[in-house]
Amino acid sequence: MLFAACSTTRHTPKRSVKHKHKKERVVKHKKQRIPYISNLTGVRKKIVEASLEWEGTPYKFAGYSKKTGTDCSGMVLTVYLETTGIKLPRNSAKQAEYCKRIKPSQVLPGDLVFFATGKDPDKVSHVGIMIDNDNFIHASTSKGVVISSVSTPYYQRTFMGYGRAL
C-alpha cells in the first residue's frame, strides 16, 4: 500500500515525532475510557476494559494479536477468552449463531453486535463489542480497532442484530 500522507517536508527526528504522537494518543485514550467504564462492574467491566486495550491495533485478516494485528472476530474471541473463559467460534457468522439473540432494549456493555458488511446482505460478516448502549469497538479493515456508533447510517444499513454470549 502507498500512504502519501506519511511523507513530510519537516526534518524532525522520527524519535521525537513518535514520542509526541504516543503521548497525545494516550491522553485521548484515557479520556475516551472514562464514560464507558465508570458505571460498570463485574465481568462486563472486564470485557469493556479489555476491549478498549485493543483500540489502535492495526487490522490484519485472520489475526488476533494486539501487537501484530487483528480482524473483528479475532479481537472478540480473544477478549472473551481472556476475560470470561468463554471460547467463541473463530468467525463472526459462527459467533452470531453461538450467541443468544437479544432485543436492542436489552443490550448491555459487553454484548456483541453483528453486521452484514460483505457481499451477502443476509449473512453476518462483521462483529463488535458494545461498550455502551450506542457505541461498539471493532476491527475496521481500513482503520484498525476503533470505536463506532451503531446509529451511523452505514451501520444501521448493515445491522443484523445483537447477541449475548454470557
Q: What residue ranges define each of the domains in the chain, with the CATH number in brackets?
A: 13-164 (3.90.1720.10)
59, 144 contact by CB (below 8 A) = yes
| Active-site pick, 21, 29, 99, 138 | 138
Catalytic residue among 6, 21, 29, 126: 126
pLDDT string in tens for the chain (166-residue length): 333 333 333 333 333 333 333 332 333 444 455 567 778 899 999 999 999 999 999 999 999 999 999 999 999 999 999 999 999 999 999 999 999 999 999 999 999 999 999 999 999 999 999 999 999 999 999 999 999 999 999 999 999 999 999 9
Percentages helix, strand, coil for the chain, rounded to the nearest 5? 40, 20, 40
Cβ atoms of residues 142 and 59 within 8 Å = yes
Q: Which residues, listed in sequence order, are joined to residue 138 by a DSSP beta bridge?
A: 146
| Cβ(77)–Cβ(64) below 8 Å | yes
Output phi, psi for 96, to 5 deg.
-65, -40
pLDDT of residue 34: 56
Cut 0.75: pTM above it: yes
**What was the pLDDT predicted at 160?**
98
Distance between CA atoms of residues 92 and 53, nearest Å: 20
Catalytic entry in 6, 11, 19, 72: 72
Give the integer Cα–Cα distance in Å for 118 and 131: 24
State yes or no: is 138 an active-site residue: yes
Reply yes or no on whether 19 is catalytic: no
What does the block give as the cell for 6?
A: 506519511
Calpha distance 87→79 (Å, rounded): 10
User: Residue 21's Cα: distance from chain center in Å?
Assistant: 21
Q: Any catalytic annotation for residue 72?
A: yes
Helix H or strand E segment including 129: strand 126-130
